[in-house]
Structure 1
Amino acid sequence: MYKKILLAADGSENSLRAAREAAEIAFLVKDCKIEVVYVADYSKSKSAILHSQGKEELELSRREKLHQMEKELQSQHIAYEVKILHGEPGPAIVEYANKENFDLVIIGSRGLNSFQEMVLGSVSHKVMKRVNCPALIVK
């Protein structure tokens, strides 16, 4: 069964729905743990760093994007951990998921940047094609 779940998050409404689905699955499995993965996108990082007051503020702003998702998991009493990765979201999630041998990857169907998804292809599509474990896209 799914003991180790990777939940890809970006703070969007779809990633919050993915968190709800992950919580439902984890609730049914004894000793299941969710690892919430947020990718600090290199293409946006430079601007975020320039506009922040320091490393602590930058870290806080990233964690704020995940606040609702964390509240959802806490309310269900689900064991979880947050991991912040750096890089391009699709490849970073795939590399981490495959390296850490997750049982299931859960991701929202669309993230925060719908224009970029139209041009480059969605992160969820890239993840689905390349992870070595079952994956669930939540609409």
Structure 2
Amino acid sequence: MYRKILVALDTGASDLELLPAVTALAKLMQSELLLVHVADGWAARNFDQLKLAESEEMKQDLSYLEATAEKLRVESNLTVNILLVLGEPPDQILKVAAEERIDLIALASHGHRLIGDIIHGSTIDAVRHKANVPLFVVPPKRAS
């Protein structure tokens, strides 16, 4: 059913909630994972227009994707590919999903409420309104 799952990573604590959940699903469905991180810093947003060199942040993001993919390959025996893209996260996630013929988009919720969403934006909200495939959203761990 879900042959190819796009896993949108933010390189933060929310990935620790998202990765085990989506890996378990991928094992059950025998899915391929595409780990995607959208670099959205100043250098990333202006990379092409200003012909900038790759920033240290972009290098770290790529290193994170490579290490995470290798760990998943070894531990789960899944096919895992990576992609670092530049720009606005919702736009790039949707673009990659279309180009790669993704069957499911997996994201982690940060648990923002109203003001947090206004300040930080809501990638999930923007993606869910325009996505042509189902979303798999993993909420943040709640304190007991």
TM range (shorter): 0.7 to 0.9
Q: Is the 8 Å Cα contact of residues 9 and 37 (structure 1) preserved in structure 2? A: yes
Q: Any residues of structure 2 matched to 1:31-46 within 5 Å, and which? A: 32-43=31-42, 45=44
Call closer, same or farther: CA 1:6–1:46 in 2, change over 3 Å. Answer: closer
Q: Unaligned stretches of 5+ in structure 2? A: 47-52, 140-144
Separation in structure 2 between the aligned mates of residue 120 and residue 37 of structure 1, nearest angstrom: 19
Higher relative contact order, chain-length normalized (CA < 8 Å, sep 6+): 1
Structure with the larger helix share: 1
User: Which residue in the other structure is 1:70 paired with?
Assistant: 69
State the superposition RMSD in angstroms. Answer: 2.9
Partner residue in 1 for 2:137: 137
**Which aligned runs of 4 or more in structure 1 are off by greater than 6 angstroms?**
none
Distance 2:16 2:81 in 1: 16
Residue type at the aligned position of 2:102 = F
Structure 1 range deviating more: 101-110 or 12-21: 12-21
- For each residue in 1:17-64, what CA deviation from the matched residue of structure 2 results, as whole angstroms up to 9, or x when unmatched? 21211110111123x2100111111546379xxxxxx64855531124
Q: Does 1:15 align with 2:33?
A: no
> Secondary structure in 2 aligned to 1:21?
helix
Query: Alignment length, in residue pairs?
Result: 130
